[in-house]
Amino acid sequence: MSRLAFPSLAAIILAAIILAGCASLPPQTCRPGQEAMLTAELLFGRKVGDRLGVSKTAFSRFVDEEVTPRFPDGLTVLDASGQYRDTASGALIREPSKLLLIALKDEPEGRARLAAVAQAYKTRFHQQSVGTILRPACISF
């Protein structure tokens, strides 16, 4: 094995280990009356190009048509102010945003529904990305 092949092989093995950890979060130990679940935070920018392209009405319609049918048990939508660095220009971009919070069981079907919501938003509103954060949580209602 050459010296160049070893670091590449090590990098591949390390990446595989890290990515395998993303497939499922470790089991959560919860107090009585709480259930181990995931909390999902989806971050939706509302600009399209240099203008506000997703109105509050359009976002509400999106929630009604795309999110609620996939997560009928409940969700929370918050107004937010986001920012990111444009990779092409290096400029700091600020935009009005929406933060969607959802509690769900840690199952492949729920993760697929989250991905479908993100893809629907990108397609409908010509967005490059939707930020998605998943965290283990102990939840009671």
User: In angstroms, rounded to a whole number, what is the distance separating the alpha carbons of residues 132 and 115?
Assistant: 9
In a domain, 92, yes or no: yes
Determine the structural domain holding residue 84 and report its residue range.
28-139
> Which pLDDT score is estimated for 136?
96
Q: Is residue 41 part of a domain?
A: yes
pLDDT at 23 (0 to 100): 53
Q: Which residue has the higher pLDDT, 32 or 18?
A: 32
> Is residue 71 situated within a structural domain?
yes
Give residues with Cβ within 8 angstroms of 121, minimum separation 6: 44, 62, 66, 127, 130
pLDDT digits (tens, 9 = 90+) for 30-63: 999 999 999 999 999 999 888 988 999 999 999 9
Token pair 């999902």 is at which residue? 40
The percent of residues above 70 in pLDDT, for the chain, comes to 80
Query: Per the domain annotation, does 14 fall within a domain?
Result: no
> Does 23 map to a domain?
no
pLDDT of residue 50: 82
- The CATH number for 51's domain is 3.30.70.120
The answer to whether residue 129 sits within a structural domain is yes
Residue position matching structure tokens 């939840």: 139
**Within a domain: residue 11?**
no
Token match 């997560």: residue?
71
Task: Give the separation between CA 72 and CA 88, rounded to whole angstroms.
Answer: 39
Note the residue count of the chain. 141
Q: How many domains does the chain have?
A: 1
